[in-house]
Amino acid sequence: MSAAKGHGMDRTRWAALLARPALVVVGAFSLVIAFGTALLVLPVSAENGRASSVVTAVFTATGAMSGGLSVVDTGSHWNTFGEVVVLGLIQLGGFGIMTFASLLGLLVLGRIRLGLQLTAQAETGSLGIGDVRRVLLGVARITVVVELAVAAWLMLRFRFAHGQPIGEAAYYGLFHAVSAFNNAGFGLRPDNLVGYASDIWVMLPIAVACILGSIGFPVLLELLRSGRSGAFVRSARHWSLHTRLTLLTTAVLLVVGSVFTWLLEWSNPGTLGPLTWPDKLSNGFFNAVTARTAGFNSVDVGEMKPATLLVTTVLMFIGGGSASTAGGIKVTTFAVLGTAILAEVRGNTAVEVMGRRITSSVLRQALTVALLGVGAVIVSTMVLLTISDEPLLAVLFEATSAFGTCGLTTGITGDLPEAGQLILVALMFIGRIGPITVASALALRVRGRLYQLPEERPVIG
């Protein structure tokens, strides 16, 4: 009886735990980062055969899982084993720990427990429990197809245009394809992608993979369904508001980011200045793509003008689409807040966009996510300024890059004290799992009240 009772209590605890997706996601990501840190700290992972410091290992593991910064050069510090560990962490971080676990359960057992479905729903942005199975399989197919297609193209380019041996070209192609689709920004060269700044056939597929990874799996699945229907244009009229908002806001941010980069950096001798005008156009666009949490750089970010760094900081903070491999507060959050401001300026009592009304609960969630993000970046920036001698703009850029899980850096990450690097680790972790946990926690905490307090209007503005 006691054994049966104890077993029943264990099952009750697990059921209670799995009913809280936010807690499960945080725990799962923490465990994988700890495991990755344990592997990277081993001498067998380093190129010089010596054990890396714990701070370096945990920074790299967190950066790979979240698609963020790194304090060492991936290609020179880690050997092949270490690079494979980093690649695995990138894939797990982008695909989602609980998404991966749920898919494994679906394939092996043919079913997914309710608690696991809840966590997978939180990560993939499924609209309901009934969508989870379909979404999981769709996510897996999209990931495999995009990564293999980009890897094959890059392999051919590295082999025949840059003269790499076939094995090295295949490895480079796969690594950069996985890193691009998962918006990690990790490269195998010390200069990241600066050496390929004049090769549009390397830059373009990486940019496409970054964009596809950043718009989110729900959007990709809806686009695929429209394509299969044979009437893509007609289906587009019936796309969900989420898909339309994501695509429109993404396109606007790409155009705005590209134009600002061209205007500000066109004649800068440290960035676009020495390039031909077609390369200036392609690299300006590439910066706008990667600034939205992809993290690759084809020009020296440290040589950018302050105005460009500020624009890039804003793009990194906004990030990519919900339920995507990108970070930031998400483009839909930004779009919803923008429409709310526009409605208030116009004097409208309801927030309406594209023929739909935005509910007050969505507005509250968007405001919460945005303000929590602002708070995390500001507090971290203040602490980093206190413990280091780096300039304000560089520190703000670094903190935003960490929170937005972008990976772009002005070059000060390695110069920060270990305490500062650990702050960036915490920011990357918050930036990766924060939107998931906040969104799921807010959704699960919605509850009605049987009474309302008296209404009173404070003075605003």
Identity of the residue numbered 265 = E
If one counts the domains in the chain, the total is 1
The answer to whether position 1 is within a domain reads: no
Give 303's DSSP letter: G
Please, what is the angle between helix 360-387 and helix 331-346, to 10°? 110
pLDDT over 60 (residue 116):
no
Give CA–CA dist 402/129, Å, rounded.
32
Is 90 exceeded by the pLDDT of residue 387?
A: yes
DSSP-derived pairing of the beta strands 356-358 and 351-353: antiparallel
Higher-pLDDT residue of 14 and 315 is 315
Residue 461 lies in a domain: no
264 vs 95, which has greater pLDDT?
264
How high is the pLDDT of residue 414?
86
Q: Which helix (H) or strand (E) holds 329?
A: none
Question: For residue 380, what pLDDT band results from cuts at 50, 70 and 90?
Answer: very high
- 35 found inside a domain: yes
For residue 101, pLDDT over 50 is answered with: no
pLDDT tens per residue, range 22-76: 666 777 788 889 999 999 999 999 999 999 999 999 999 999 988 778 888 888 8
Q: What is the mean pLDDT of residues 231-249?
A: 77
CA 37 to chain centre: 20
Residue with tokens 């839909």: 332
Q: Which of 34-48, 49-63, 109-123, 218-232 has the lowest mean pLDDT?
A: 109-123
Where does 54-192 show beta strands of DSSP type E? none
Quick one: which of 25, 10, 31 has its CA closest to 119?
25
At 350 the pLDDT is 85
Residue 129 contacts residue 112 (beta carbons within 8 Å): no
Cα separation values, 227 from 40, 137, 223, 319, Å: 43, 18, 6, 26
- Residue 362 neighbours by CB distance under 10 Å: 15
- Tell me, yes or no, whether 27 lies in a domain: yes
Q: Which two tokens stand for residue 92?
A: 């797990």
For 47, the token pair is 């190129």
The pair phi, psi for residue 187, each rounded to 5°, is: -125, 170
Mean pLDDT, the chain, rounded, equals 83
* pLDDT for the residue 86: 94
Predicted confidence at residue 359, as pLDDT, reads 86
In a domain, 138, yes or no: yes
Question: Residue 11 domain-assigned?
Answer: no
- The DSSP-derived string for 164-196 is --HHHHHHHHHHHHHHHHTT----SSTTTTGGG
Angstrom distance (rounded) from CA 429 to CA 403: 8
pLDDT score, position 264: 95
**Helix 2-18 to helix 21-40 angle, to the nearest 10 degrees?**
90
Average pLDDT over residues 12-23: 54
Distances (CA, A) of 101 to 148, 175, 207, 325: 22, 23, 29, 17
In this predicted structure, the answer to whether residue 396 has a pLDDT above a threshold of 60 is yes
Q: pLDDT band at 295, cuts 50/70/90?
A: confident
Q: How confident is the model at residue 107 (pLDDT cuts 50, 70, 90)?
A: very low
Q: In the chain, what percentage of residues exceed pLDDT 70?
A: 79
Domain around 106: 19-443
* pLDDT category of residue 215 using cuts at 50, 70 and 90: confident
H-type helices in 229-352, by residue range?
232-236, 241-265, 277-291, 306-318, 331-346
In whole angstroms, give the CA distance from residue 342 to residue 353: 10
Nearest-angstrom CA–CA distance, 380 and 364? 24
Q: What is the pLDDT of residue 449?
A: 62
Q: What is the mean pLDDT of residues 132-154?
A: 84
pLDDT exceeds 60 at position 399 = yes
Residue 449 lies in a domain: no
Q: Does 460 reside within a domain?
A: no
Under a CB-based contact definition with an 8 Å cutoff, are residues 298 and 197 in contact?
Answer: yes
In this structure, the number of other CB atoms found within 10 A of the CB of residue 366 comes to 22
Name the least confident of 5-9, 263-267, 309-313, 337-341. 5-9
Cα 303-306-307 angle, rounded to 5 deg: 120
Helix (H, G, I), strand (E, B) or coil at 113: coil
Name the more confident of 102 and 50: 50
pLDDT at 112: 47
Is residue 281 a contact partner of residue 298, using CB atoms and an 8 Å limit? Answer: no
The residue among 98 and 304 whose pLDDT is bigger is 304
For residue 353, give the H/E element and its range: strand 351-353
Q: Give the DSSP letter of residue 44.
A: G
- pLDDT > 50? residue 273: yes
pLDDT of 321: 84
- Please give the pLDDT value at position 240: 83
Distance of alpha carbon 419 from alpha carbon 195, whole angstroms: 33
